[in-house]
A and B are shown apart, each in its own frame.
Chain A
């Protein structure tokens, strides 16, 4: 009895050490560094006038609503914060400026298309995937509707069609993958923007442009490109004249969101080593415990494992 109890406790101890050490081991080479330079959009919020034409273009492109363009001139929608929904892939919010009431800041929100997307890491059937060009796309055919992607997204982007009983989808910005696949094609919102607010291009070039702009006008811009390092980097990048937290941007560190879970997952289940070890150990315990009671011998599982 004592022997076995001690063994069991030893095993638990080993498990505890294993659990902790895997949890604190830094992740293997960041997958972000190996990711090809995709496309992105630089959003210069200092240029945005809150015309919401990007919302109109997006809704028309994806057949989300058929409101006429004039209806987007209604500024009363800015009274309360609006957020992304199953029928709104992008929304513009107005943030009052405490220093100059006449100059509020408008911020366009949509999926940021992370370089190492938490939603894609979470999805157990690979319905969400990051494409070569940087777009994080969704394949409704694979989706089970578990909504773990929505739990995982640090920016709270994916929305769900809860009202659809049979074929509900996870809904979010597609980065207009079908448009940009064509030569010179732009995302609908970028094409529609009347200001110099949205710039589409290679992410590396956009980053260079962003830092150029900051260097060219350090009084105007915050010295921070949101999305350069947040969550390991995002395809959509932002410039602002005020601290990003004041504009309701999430304060997200540079570590890619999936690192911890993927590190735990891959260190514990690498080659199935830990489960097989546990299997062998339990097999051995079983044989010893049985022998200890002088019962008839039976094959234990160890042989099967090796």
Chain B
């Protein structure tokens, strides 16, 4: 199997034109967020009594959680199923998951009317075990803790033995170093438990997210409303894990001017048609068994969105990735992976917004410009923080000198 892999902080120019675009998006969103906190949700969103959940829940929260699935799927592959050759993608996927879930929390803070009560579900006197959302909330909190604990050793590794605080603080160098070593050691001893816990917690809340809308049977469009919605959410989360890893690895490579890691990504992508295929077959079987398929041809916005989600986001990339020639082509692999990612994005938006049709409604919900800009700003912030993190910490694999492939 592959040799032990070594990681290193990326040494590339930080500010590129793309980074300035991201910064502009971040600043716009920050201004709008300040406005939201001063003047309330009404001032920036198009939410109504009929449509209490909009873009922020559908994209920032639900899609954010789904697209962070690269974390637990790669961790399961490399650490539980012991496929060591995929070690190279575990750290970036872990970072994406950690940042992804952190931004799910931030997005939620913007959406919650009483954001300062976000800790309430953790307080035992307020536990409400009948609520699916309670289960989601508890799992996400626990998983976020696991993610930060999994990441901490990477941060420790960066500084152990080279703690160098400026000026007067230098006398603390020894103590800080010892603290880092003990944190690293403790986490190292329980890491196996944490890794498995991360996978279990992910399976739990990825599926529970799908159970959320099952409490609204009379409002949900029958194309999406099925008792196995939790199972479909879990399957699609597993299916989107590796495509998301491929997608962002190639984006990062391109942005940093590195070569795409095809030696890892191509074998990784061989799993995609398996998981995507399981999801596809289950979803089609569900439509047939519930006799909901005639709705595909009702010509409504909902039927169009369902066809788009399944055709463009599941069936097309599935067919593409069946071919090993496509999987070896960096361009085709990137396109197919992006389609899967977009497909899951559309699916989550469909389930939480498009399929939701409440009674006593005058007009349908269309997100406001401010909602879109805040969502874009959150994603831009995530990308910037990712860039900062891979520049500071050993997350991406060390680049091999061109003349020494497989260098140890």
Contacts and interface: CB of A to CB of B under 8 A. Distances in A.
A292 B203 CA distance: 25
Given A19-B230, A23-B228, A252-B218, A160 B120 contact: no
A142 B126 contact: yes
A285 B196 CA distance: 10
A146 to B, nearest CB: 6
Which one of A126, A161, A300 has the highest number of Cβ atoms from chain B below 10 Å of its Cβ?
A126
B82 interface: yes
Given A151-B216, A260-B217, A265 B81 contact: no
A290 B82 contact: yes
A125 interface: yes
B305 to A, nearest CB: 19
B312 interface: no
B210 to A, nearest CB: 10
A261 B40 contact: no
A300 B192 contact: yes
B364 interface: no
Interface stretch (A78-86, A184-192, A211-219): A78-86
Interface residues on A, range: 35 or more
A81 B360 CA distance: 8
Interface stretch (B89-97, B107-115, B151-159, B395-403): B107-115
Contacts of A244: none
A248 B361 CA distance: 12
A121 B212 CA distance: 11
A164 B40 contact: yes
Given A258-B130, A275-B204, A151 B192 contact: no
A77 B63 CA distance: 42
Nearest to A163: B42
A123 B117 CA distance: 13
A15 interface: yes
A156 B359 contact: yes
Interface stretch (A33-41, A65-73, A195-203, A276-284): A276-284
Contacts of A84: 49, 360
A165 B110 CA distance: 11
B118 interface: yes
Which one of A24, A154, A155 has the highest number of Cβ atoms from chain B below 10 Å of its Cβ?
A154
Interface string B26-56: 0000000000011111110101111011000
Interface string A163-187: 1111110000000000000000000
B253 interface: no
A156 B359 CA distance: 7
A279 B220 CA distance: 33
Contacts of A162: 40-42, 45, 47-48, 113
A274 B274 CA distance: 24
A278 B199 CA distance: 9
A16 B215 contact: no
A20 interface: yes
Interface in B347-384: 356, 358-360
Interface in B178-228: 192-193, 196-197, 199-200, 203-204, 207-208, 211-219, 227-228
Contacts, number: 219
B40 A165 contact: yes
Interface stretch (B5-13, B133-141, B167-175, B330-338): B133-141
Nearest to A152: B215
Which one of A20, A145, A160 has the highest number of Cβ atoms from chain B below 10 Å of its Cβ?
A145
Contacts of B111: 146
B131 interface: yes
B145 interface: no
A298 interface: yes
A154 B133 CA distance: 17
Contacts of B235: 12
B131 A124 contact: yes
Which one of B127, B196, B207, B227 has the highest number of Cβ atoms from chain A below 10 Å of its Cβ?
B196
Interface string B60-96: 0000000000000000100111111000000000000
A275 B200 contact: yes
A247 interface: no
Given A261-B132, A275-B200, A145 B112 contact: yes
Given A125-B121, A152-B215, A16 B231 contact: yes
A264 interface: yes
The 9 closest A-B pairs by CB, nearest first: A145-B113, A23-B227, A19-B231, A165-B40, A147-B52, A289-B82, A124-B134, A162-B42, A150-B52
Interface of A: 1, 4, 8-9, 12, 15-16, 19-20, 23-24, 81, 83-86, 118, 121-126, 142-148, 150-152, 154-156, 158-168, 248, 250-252, 257-258, 260-262, 264-266, 268-269, 275, 278-279, 282-283, 285-286, 289-290, 292-293, 295, 298-301, 304
